Amino acid sequence: MTLIATAGHVDHGKTSLVEALTGTNTDRLEEEKRRGLTIDLGFAHSTGSAGEVLSFIDVPGHIRFLRNMLAGVGGIDMCLLVVDAREGWMPQTQEHFDILRLLGVQHGVVALTKCDLLSETEREDARLLVEMQLENTFLGDATIVETSIHDESSIELLRHKILSIVHAPRQIKSRPRIWIDRVFSLTGVGTVVTGTLLDAPLTVGADITILPAGHKGRIRQLHSHNQEVETSEPGSRVAVNVHGISHNDINRGDVLVLPEQWMLSNTLDVELHALPYLAHSITRRGHFLMYIGSDEVEVSLRLIQAESIAPGTTAKARLYLQHPIAVAPQDKFILRETGRDETVAGGIVLDIDPVLRLTKADPQYDVQHLLDERGMMNTNELFLRTGVQATPTVDDVIFSSAMLTAAKAEVFHMLNSQRSLASELQGIDLVGLPDHLAQAARTFRPEEAVIENGRLYLPELAPSQKQTHPLVQEFIDALFTPPDPNAFDRALLRRLVQEGHLLNLDGIFFASHTLDRAHAMVKDLLTQHPDGITTSAFREAANTTRKYAVPLLEALDARGITRRRGDLRIAGPRL
Ligand SMILES: Nc1nc2c(ncn2[C@@H]2O[C@H](COP(=O)(O)OP(=O)(O)OP(=O)(O)O)[C@@H](O)[C@H]2O)c(=O)[nH]1
Ligand SMILES: [Mg+2]
């Protein structure tokens, strides 16, 4: 299926050409018939002998109805640019052409219409003038077909040229959406909305929501080109019979989407491309209307790192929208200045939820950049802002690499600073850490740090890694009266100290475990004697000699567990 929008100045023959190609006159409104003028979008299609479907969106050429034209041209595959051979390139030919270019349309065919009214030389002149306008543009190589609605062969040639355009297959994205361009109610059927389905398929029975209002409903039926279908593919024109929402609650410019997939936004960071032949620069002054999908939104404009955008140049800007909309990065739009009633720029959305102040902002669209600006996001936050389903770094969180490095360094520092502590005090309880540090802690490689029973350890200090050396066990068993170190190999003792199993207190060696026991014992004694305890009291309780009691108490002092006051030891800050 190929979705084609017409474009061109008022009265140049767009509707007539669509009728000649499809047999359908799309000027269905009473007023359109009476005035011989298209006011609103028209839809018609034809199916070729090989089953190929050409689906047309016929737009109005009159400048007063430009909003309707803009509502129709999102998501098309190509354009049919219509130029009256007698009148040639006119203001709305130019404006429609600019709009298509700014929206990124890449293909098209040009029809030089009403050729039955001209001589061959006149037709030749008309063609040359149009060719000049198209030179070096996206339609630079487009075929120009001379047509007359009274000459069937010219219409067939045009159809043939349209069919010969190969457009890239549509990129399927994660979230379907329809910018609604028509809403009505049919007796016995109920609410129907129409639009072009973008980005992903939609299926009958799906729960949907209409944004920005947030009305909830369900798809009862889907029609594409007058055929009932179970599933619609992106790029097709669809009519959706919505159950559960009154047609009075839906407007052109709303979007139909699946629930919980979109975030509304009223501040957008964007890139703007000013039209080349503007007679002025674009500045924050002026009243602007943004046309995005089928919506029209009043916006105010602040430029980022620029005072103005000169004609033909590009700058970044922040737009403040009068009502919130559901859009995604990379969506294209048109900016018109209402005072001058002219199209001034095309834009592309970069960030729908800018976090940096205007003076600091440097918006770009890529997921990495969004993450770098924020440090971390959970996967759903990222999905709502971009439609991108990213693999989390840990749990459901994605870290920027800078943030992850910093958070890991912080945790690692905490681990390292515990090295001198007794073995029972090793490790960090993850529950006690701020969320982002706890999450970063889960990303350590096993050789960096390990988690056991909810605590993070340096690998060699993890409980499971500590195979007690027989010598260590000997020291543990001896408790407050350790063996004479001279009986053992010095190097072995040194290693056991380095590994944290033994403590060297002024040449006297204890098991690390012994200091924890001393700590517990002192704590007990101090509960009974809050005014302080003497060295003898501790020595007696520990059933040891001064030789061992003194260095143990001094080690507790050094760790802030106890404090000296005269002959007594009182509680320290770390008791
Ligand atoms: N002789 C002749 N008249 C044509 C041809 N194509 C269109 N016309 C006439 O031109 C007039 C305008 O045609 P439309 O098709 O309504 O023009 P349009 O571009 O759709 O106009 P808007 O939608 O209002 O912008 C009508 O009176 C048509 O009959 C043609 O090939 N030959
Ligand atoms: Mg028309």
* pLDDT tens, position by position, 388-447: 999 999 888 999 999 999 999 999 999 888 777 766 667 888 878 998 999 999 999 988
Predicted local confidence at residue 479, as pLDDT:
92
The closest residue, in CA terms, to atom 32 on ligand 1 is 114
Calpha distance 391→253 (Å, rounded):
33
Count the neighbouring beta carbons within 10 Å of the beta carbon of residue 64.
11
| 467 pLDDT more than 70 | no
- List b or e across 196-230, with b for residues whose CB sees 16 or more CB atoms inside 10 angstroms: bbbbbebebebebbbbbeebebebbbbbbbeeebe
Q: Which amino acid is it at 437?
A: L
pLDDT digits (tens, 9 = 90+) for 176-192: 999 999 999 999 999 99
Convert 126-144 into a string of H (helix), E (strand) and C (coil): HHHHHHHHHCCCCCCCCCE
Reported as a pLDDT band with limits 50, 70 and 90, residue 472 is confident
CB of 38 closer than 6 angstroms to any ligand 1 atom: yes
Quick one: average pLDDT of 335-348? 94
Mutate to test the pocket of ligand 1, among 14, 16, 157 (most ligand atoms within 8 A of CB): 16
CA dihedral 492, 493, 498, 503 (to 10 degrees): 160
Residue 40 has pLDDT above 80, yes or no: yes
pLDDT at position 318 is 97
Where helices occur in 375-502 by DSSP H, the ranges are: 379-386, 401-416, 435-441, 470-478, 490-498
Q: What is the average pLDDT across 278-286? A: 93
Give the per-residue pLDDT at 266. Answer: 96
State percent of the chain over pLDDT 70: 99
Residue 537: the pLDDT is: 95
User: Which residue out of 11, 123, 146 has the highest number of ligand 1 atoms within 8 Å of its CB and is therefore the one to mutate?
Assistant: 11
Give the pLDDT score at 178: 97
d(CA 15, ligand 1 centre) in Å? 7
**Helix, strand or coil, per DSSP, at residue 177:** strand
Average pLDDT on 211-235 reads 95
User: 363, 304 in Cβ contact below 8 A?
Assistant: yes
Residue 241 structure tokens: 């019979």
21 lines ligand 1 (CB under 6 A): no
| Of the candidate ranges 132-136, 160-164, 432-436, the one whose mean pLDDT is the lowest | 432-436
Q: What pLDDT does residue 417 have?
A: 85
- Residue minimizing CA distance to atom 13 of ligand 1: 13
pLDDT in tens, 239-263: 999 999 999 999 999 999 999 999 9
pLDDT value, residue 496: 84
What pLDDT was estimated at residue 264? 98
Whether 363 is in the pocket of ligand 1, judged by its Cβ within 6 Å, is no
Helix (H, G, I), strand (E, B) or coil at 63: helix
Q: Is the pLDDT of residue 99 over 80?
A: yes
How far apart are alpha carbons 415 and 574 in whole angstroms?
Answer: 18
* 20 pLDDT higher than 70: yes
Which ligand 1 atom lies nearest to the CA of residue 115?
A: 31
The number of C-alpha atoms within 13 Å of 526 and in the hemisphere containing its C-beta is 18
pLDDT band at 501 (very low <50, low <70, confident <90, very high): confident
C-alpha 99/C-alpha 333 separation (Å) is 9
CA distances (Å), origin 119, targets 22, 143, 374: 27, 20, 65
Those residues whose C-beta lies under 8 Å from the C-beta of residue 82, and which sit 6 or more positions away, are 6, 7, 8, 12, 13, 14, 17, 110, 111, 113
Question: Can you tell me the distance from the alpha carbon of 117 to that of 256, in angstroms, rounded to the nearest whole number?
Answer: 45
The highest-confidence range among 124-138, 415-429, 556-570, by mean pLDDT, is 124-138
Report d(CA 14, CA 11) in Å as an integer. 7
Q: Is the CB of 152 inside a 6 Å radius of any atom of ligand 1?
A: no
Is 482 a residue whose pLDDT tops 90?
Answer: yes
Residue 290 has which token pair?
């943004």
* Pair 460, 450: CB distance under 8 Å: no
Mean pLDDT across the stretch 481-507?
88
Distance linking the first and last C-alpha atoms of the chain = 77
Q: What is the phi/psi pair of residue 202, to 5°?
A: -130, 145
Peptide bond into 573 cis (omega under 30): no
Strands 376-378 and 428-429: unpaired
Residue 128 beta carbon below 6 angstroms from any ligand 1 atom: no
Phi and psi of 203, rounded to 5°? -130, 145
Report the C-alpha gap between 544 and 558 in whole angstroms: 21
Answer yes or no: is the C-beta of 430 below 6 A from any ligand 1 atom: no
Contact partners, residue 11, CB within 8 Å, separation at least 6: 37, 61, 84
What pLDDT, on a 0 to 100 scale, did the predictor assign at position 237?
A: 93
- And the tokens for 137? 């543009």
What's residue 424's pLDDT? 61
Residue 271 has pLDDT above 70, yes or no: yes
Ligand nearest to the CA of 96: 1
Cβ distance 451 to 464 under 8 Å? no
Q: pLDDT at position 466, please?
A: 64
Q: What is the 3-state secondary structure (H, E, C) of 199-268?
A: CCCEECCCEEEEECCCEEEEEEEEEECCEEECEECCCCEEEEEEECCCHHHCCCCCEEECCCCCCCEEEE
Query: How many A from CA of 159 to the centre of ligand 1?
Result: 18
Q: Average pLDDT, whole number, for the chain?
A: 93
Ligand nearest to the CA of 80: 1
pLDDT band for position 64 (50/70/90)? confident
Q: What average pLDDT does this structure show over 511-531?
A: 91
pLDDT of residue 422: 63
Buried b or exposed e, range 317-343, using 16+ CB within 10 angstroms: bbbebeeebbbbbebbbbbbbeeeebb
What is residue 465's DSSP assignment? G
Q: Which two tokens stand for residue 495?
A: 């290693």
How much of the chain exceeds pLDDT 90, in percent?
A: 77
**Best of 6, 10, 15 for a ligand 1 pocket test (most atoms within 8 Å of beta carbon):** 15
Return the pLDDT at 13: 97
Find where tokens 């499809």 sit: 22
Name the residue among 314, 220, 330 with its Cα closest to residue 275.
Answer: 314
8 Å CB contact between 426 and 433: no
| pLDDT reported for residue 447 | 86
110 lines ligand 1 (CB under 6 A): no
The per-residue pLDDT for 167 is 77
